[in-house]
Structure 1
Amino acid sequence: MTGEQILILGGTGEARALAKSLIDAERSVISSLAGRVDNPRLPVGPVRIGGFGGVDGLREWLISNRIQAVVDATHPFAATITRNAAQAASEAGVPLLRLRREPWTPTQADRWIRVPDLAAAADEVRRRGKRVLLTTGRQDVGEFADIDDVWFLIRVVDPPTAELPAHHEILRSRGPYDYDSELALLRENRIDLLVTKNSGGALTKAKLDAAAALGIDVIVVDRPIEPDVPAVSDVAAAQAWLERLLG
């Protein structure tokens, strides 16, 4: 292993792929996961799980562990850690790169209703939905808890942590999902509205293709605004950035 230490933030597929690629190249890497998912898919190499204690805690951690570069490969909606990482890295004088997958973009077949946040998504559900597939994550279900005239199929990896709407069913499952299965899920549950965040990537895109094929409206929550830092959208570009930086 080389002497520098690289910190990768996030438990995404991109984070895992980057960790493997760097370790295969004999780079010294530590991956950090927030610990919000039970039994997460772990990357190869050293892993720390849990928060840093805000900007101050992360800044001191970077300094005390002599981190030479940070790659923020967290989920596109992990806004707090992305902001904290940008500020902490800047204050510690550590170069930071954002590895952020490209967002989904609608085709002519898609019936998207784009909204800026989850509160706006809930407002649209009140106006449009009767049988809803909700795929925004377990921590966000509470935004829809007071909607009592809609039935929700709530798909999550781990049990929801917030208050639940009156009429619902919990479907615990982890992607990737394929088109045929998503089509069957929508049909069998007579879904007339899909709610999702614009996470991007191939892992869960099949639900959008299935919804388009069935003419189902999709409420798509836009990504939060991120700090202005160097950014790439694929693992190869992130590794190339590190190679240029570290030699």
Structure 2
Amino acid sequence: MGEVRIGVQLQPQHAGEYRLMREAVMRSEEAGVDVVFNWDHFFPLTGDPEGYHYECWTMLGAWAEQTERVQIGALVTGGGYRNPDLLADMARTVDHISDGRLILGVGAGWNERDYDEYGYEFGTPGTRLALLKEYLPRIVGRLQQVTPPPVGDLPLLIGGGGERKTLRLVAEHANIWHGFGDLETFTHKSGVLERHCADVGRDPAVIERSTSWPGVDQAEAFVDAGATLFTIGTSGPDYDLDEVRAALAWRDSRR
């Protein structure tokens, strides 16, 4: 089992002026987080649906220059928004800007407004997963062809919990799995993932288990279930890091 890590998802909604996000990234790195994530949506998911919002990948390029130590990435990129070869090239470029600190997070996508208003086909959960299945080998293949290649072993994170299709893709391709739900759900789906790994001949121990921060009282139980990366989400304009600091104190108390 790997070392426990703490991430923060700075949700790019309701920030007002972008400088508030810039400052939140600086505060997060200074606080000692291991990973700073954003998300890949085009509109706020909570609060005022017409509130301020900023785009994921241009922001990651800025974070790559702004930060020095933390890993950065999207939790997660909408799999159907971009040509997969282009996405791989974007990721490789941000990886170089950050000197090898990018996590490439992808998922099948779920928020219909993102698709409808930006002209992407929303389809069904099945068609979106089929597209992700088609795209993942293209992403991996393009990363092996670009010149120069990624700085190191660019980790691929897949988010989602579908037992038959999504977790199979995790077993086949991912370095990190981000799951959702309570301890019972997380434990069950981890077991499903391990069975998929056995089917494809892959050691499940090479896939890091990631989930949302459950609070100090439950965190150790999630570690016992295999989780080593916990992420706390926070939105603008305040980007309150109090819970992040509590998680960091818990992490440091274990070391």
Shorter-normalised TM-score: what interval? 0.3 to 0.5
| TM-score normalised by L of structure 2 | 0.32
Structure showing greater Rg = 1
